[in-house]
Structure 1
Amino acid sequence: MYLTQSLHRDMQTRPDDIATITGDRRRTVRELHDRVSRLAGALQNLGISKDDRVAYLGRNSDYFHEFYLGTFWADAVVNPVNTRWSAKEIAYSLDDSSTRVIMADETIRPHLDEIRALYPHVQTLIWTGSGPAPAGAILYEDVLDGATPVADARRGGESLAGLFYTGGTTGFPKGVMLSHANLFVGALGSCIGRFVTPGAIFLHAAPMFHLADFGAWAITTLTGGVHVSAPSFEPEQVFEAIRRHSVTHTLLVPAMLQMLVDSPLRPHADVRSLRQISYGGSTITQAVLERAQDAWPHVAFVQAYGQTELSPVTALLGPQDHVAPAPKARLRSAGVAAPHSEIRIVDPATGATLPANEVGEIVSRGGHVMLGYWNKPEETAKAIRHGWLHSGDLGYLDEDGYLFVVDRLKDMVISGGENVFSAEVENALARHQAVAACAVIGLRDDKWGERVHAVVVLKAGETVTESELRDHARQFVAGYKVPRSMEFVDALPLTSTGKVQKNILRERYQ
């Protein structure tokens, strides 16, 4: 199993078909094959050899596609860098991975001097941006023009494919080591589960450095699809790309999905070509999902649950579970174990398997479980025990094997001795018509140990009082779960993948 395999097959079966689209630029499979083999040759000329790391720091584009395939082709390891990190976090990931060659565009420019000061060991900066290259950088197209194509190393199997650094919301990020086999198994199983279906014209609207989008990238690549890139997530760009390129599939995190549904452009947007929206990366409220289904009744919805350490999917809620006659309550679930995955619910303290409908830690096993954390054997041993990846998420399985995720272990609120799952309270608050987004955290309280605190963003032009929201929440959750304190804000702090940074909220309100 090697991730460049599909490019060889496509050269035999569809060399003149379109492979990638970025703006007005279209490249065929034949052009892609030539550019990838030249990039691999260029990387080797720059001193990249077996197992070396190559980083990419930039916006979504066809260059990202070439970076992945070209690095694998050169027998090296990819290190896609989060563009929203601080210079210190970026430098840390480069230093931790001993990365010497970086491909980058304009997104690195504001941080470049500081990165170079913090990590002076970058040997080569390859510039993929459209603006003037920084001092010392070499232009990407010049690199390709001066390179000779090389044979594919056909790096695969258990060899390391990439270091995918986790979000860095608590301390510095960890490098998740994923093999070609990990990513291949995850892609094939997710394809069977309809995360992305074969022959897709797939829009990369979510960040391509994130493993959720990489999972969709791998399926689209393996099944002969077309990659369309939106440089960044803007509703206008997304709607225009769908119309212009007849996009059939895309992946969105819940925050993105909500932005599209709420956009004033939505009623007039031409999305007739769109067949499926896959969503995941963070918890979605049932209210947002139902509004999206109402907005686009012709579109199938698929939810994926997992994490970077699971390549990245371990459970899927398929299209058939989003519509009648499936029970409506099933929309609150994360689906069933994906075809390549096994899931259990265990007692966090003892590791014993828990019965149906009892909340515990979600653990997974299969060929998609990471090799481990880069240079962190102790943390690897904590996360992987007897072959099972311990997710840090709390949830339960119902009698039919559907997984319900209720909270992160670290986000559960214990108030007056009772466990309060923040996602449950957030879902109740989000059902109010005035609420655009919300987050629930636990704050220290002299009487209750912790109190339930809600941070709420209202829709434009809407008003609601704390008392009204509490009364609304009591319709759906027990009294001890209703927020005892509340704050209205203009926006929630989000990671680049749309997850609420609750650690920041806890620090702010504590």
Structure 2
Amino acid sequence: MYLTQSLQRSLQQSPDHTATVFGERRRTFRQFADRVARLAGALQRLGMAGGDRVGMLALNSDRYLEYVMGVWWGGGVLNPVNVRWSVAEIVYSLDDCDTGILIVDDQFLPMIDAIRSKAARAPVFIHAGEQTTPPGVLSFEQLIAEGPAIADAGRGGEDLACIMYTGGTTGFPKGVMQSHRNLWSAGMQRMTEMPPLRGGSNLHIAPFFHIAGLARAVVQFLGGETHAIVAAFEPELVLRTIERERINETLMVPTMIQMLLAHPDFARYDLSSLTRMAYGASPSAGAMIEEVRAKLPWVELSHSYGLTEACPIVSTNPPENHSAEAIASGLSKSVGRSCVGVSVKIVDEQGEELPRGHVGEITVQGANIMQGYWNKPEETAKALRNGWLHTGDGGYVDEQGYLFIVDRIKDMIVSGGENVYSAEVENVILRHPSVAMCAVIGIPHAQWGEAVHAVVVRKPGCELSEDDIRLHCREYIAGYKCPKTVEFRETMPLSGAGKILKRELRDPHWVAEQGKTR
């Protein structure tokens, strides 16, 4: 259970197979492993000892994967920095886990001076990019060229592999401690449910600083597959890369898939090589599933549910549950059944297990569950209770063991004493042919406590009114669940992983009404 073993295996069995593709740059596993070993040697020369943290503030690239494997090869611990953060948030994460080395790409070179001046211990900065390396900053390429190719440190098991900071939507970010065993187990659990495509090529779109992106990379390394990478999600770049590199599989969140399908040049590209598309991070995907089936009928869809604290896998809904029959039966709305080695239990507020079909908090147990939160024993104790991770997600399990997400516990809307689950309302709104994206939130209401409020992005060129949304919803759901108010926007606030930031939509309403956030 050490994460570099997968690279050792590819180096032994398929050294000349393409490991990474980024733009016009291609490297074999032999070339990739040599660079990893040299980067590890250079990091050790800079002072990285066993268990020391090394950060990276960068968009996706082949160098990012070299950072991941290079730090592990040298015995260090990753601190992948959220690229959407402010300098203050970045510095907090660096200081919190005492990160001594920070790698930055071209995009974030302008932030170096501010980070250096504000950090409690200014890290050693390394520039990994195409621009000229500025004074006072080390060159990633020069370090690799001059670094000794060292032997693999072989850290594994319960050794810490990564500290991945949560988004910081409430208070300060929490550093999720993920061991080699945690990440290795999650990768194997995922592969058990969806075996790798031998010789396949995966397109990395999800950011590597996010667990979805990092875990996907771990799975591809375990499978010995090619890693094709785009720096960030741009619909036309993704379409062009799938066609050019004959990509077989990828992972996206529903918002990305919707933007891809809606691109005006979608039909111009040859996507026939694409056989699998995994999605996650949102239970509101009903309309997206139907559109993928219409436009890419040969593609196998699978849905995964997870969270950073589970590294991230909890359950998987396989391709057979995305058929017309599964859509009609409602099974496509499930996030599947728990993966091999993962146990799921639905509990009430006292932690007692609830009967099948009853909504409660989802709790999870398995070898993939985090060690805890870095330097936050109280937060760890709240999340890990009696050997179970309390996710904060609301859901239920049916008689066949299928898990259904109804909402984040904190996102559930209580209107006039009735519980309204935003995911259910979002699924209905997204079925409207003129809706590109939507989010449903609870806002203050004098009579009902909370009212259902929908934020909607129209598809280009479409006309859509507040009454249109209400009438559409009344065809499918009870009146108390229908939006009382509708707000139209040109864009949605998105996280670096493409998730809609509901708190940014919700907070202005609650601050204006009560002077506080919900």
TM-score normalised by the chain length of structure 1: 0.97
Distance 1:180 1:163, change over 3 A: same
Cα distance in 2 for residues equivalent to 1:284 and 1:503: 17
Task: Give the structure 2 partner of residue 10 of structure 1.
Answer: 10
Paired amino acid for 1:346: V
User: Alpha-carbon deviations, 1:55-107, whole Å to 9, x = none?
Assistant: 11111111111111110111110111111111111111111111010111022
Q: Which runs of 4 or more aligned residues in structure 1 lie more than 6 Å from their structure 2 counterparts after TM superposition? A: none
Q: How does 1:19-418 map to 2 (within 5 A)?
A: 19-119=19-119, 121-194=121-194, 197-326=197-326, 328=328, 329-347=330-348, 349-418=349-418
1:492 and 2:492 correspond: yes
CA contact (8 A) 2:283 2:333 kept: no
1:483 and 2:444 correspond: no
CA contact (8 A) 2:315 2:339 kept: yes
**How far is 1:198 from its partner?**
4.5
Paired amino acid for 1:344: K
User: Which one is further off, 324-333 or 464-473?
Assistant: 324-333
Cα distance in 2 for residues equivalent to 1:286 and 1:209: 28
SS of 1:100's partner is strand
SS of 2:304's partner is strand
SS of 1:68's partner is helix
Task: State, as a whole percentage, how many aligned pairs show the same letter.
Answer: 46
User: Alpha-carbon deviations, 1:319-349, whole Å to 9, x = none?
Assistant: 11112554531111111101121111111x1
CA contact (8 A) 2:429 2:473 kept: yes
CA contact (8 A) 1:195 1:304 kept: no
CA contact (8 A) 1:102 1:122 kept: no
**How far is 1:217 from its partner?**
0.7
Paired amino acid for 2:395: G
CA contact (8 A) 1:63 1:128 kept: yes
SS of 2:172's partner is coil
Cα distance in 2 for residues equivalent to 1:469 and 1:247: 37
CA contact (8 A) 1:191 1:197 kept: no
Distance 1:294 1:195, change over 3 A: farther
User: Alpha-carbon deviations, 1:189-241, whole Å to 9, x = none?
Assistant: 10111175453201111112111111111111011101111111111111111
**How far is 1:54 from its partner?**
0.4
CA contact (8 A) 1:170 1:503 kept: no
User: Alpha-carbon deviations, 1:135-185, whole Å to 9, x = none?
Assistant: 311111110111111111101001100001111222321110000000111
Cα distance in 2 for residues equivalent to 1:232 and 1:173: 23
**How far is 1:420 from its partner?**
0.7
**How far is 1:122 from its partner?**
2.8
Aligned-residue Cα RMSD (Å) equals 1.3
User: Which one is further off, 140-149 or 307-316?
Assistant: 140-149
Cα distance in 1 for residues equivalent to 2:208 and 2:101: 19
| Structure 1 unaligned regions, length at least 5 | none
Cα distance in 2 for residues equivalent to 1:397 and 1:196: 28
TM-score normalised by the chain length of structure 2: 0.96
SS of 2:437's partner is strand
Cα distance in 2 for residues equivalent to 1:110 and 1:126: 13
SS of 1:111's partner is helix
CA contact (8 A) 1:211 1:308 kept: yes
Distance 1:358 1:322, change over 3 A: same
User: Which one is further off, 303-312 or 289-298?
Assistant: 289-298
User: Alpha-carbon deviations, 1:112-150, whole Å to 9, x = none?
Assistant: 222222215233111111112233111111101111111
Distance 1:54 1:411, change over 3 A: same
Distance 1:286 1:446, change over 3 A: same
User: Alpha-carbon deviations, 1:18-58, whole Å to 9, x = none?
Assistant: 11111111111111121111111100100110110001111
Q: How does 1:407-446 map to 2 (within 5 A)?
A: 407-446=407-446
Distance 1:13 1:157, change over 3 A: same
Cα distance in 2 for residues equivalent to 1:195 and 1:80: 27
Distance 1:304 1:196, change over 3 A: farther
Cα distance in 2 for residues equivalent to 1:197 and 1:450: 48
CA contact (8 A) 1:55 1:99 kept: yes
User: Alpha-carbon deviations, 1:401-455, whole Å to 9, x = none?
Assistant: 1111010010111111111111111111111111111111111111101111111
Task: Give the structure 1 partner of residue 516 of structure 2.
Answer: none
Cα distance in 2 for residues equivalent to 1:42 and 1:96: 24
**How far is 1:503 from its partner?**
1.3
Distance 1:28 1:454, change over 3 A: same
User: Which one is further off, 392-401 or 459-468?
Assistant: 459-468
Paired amino acid for 1:113: D
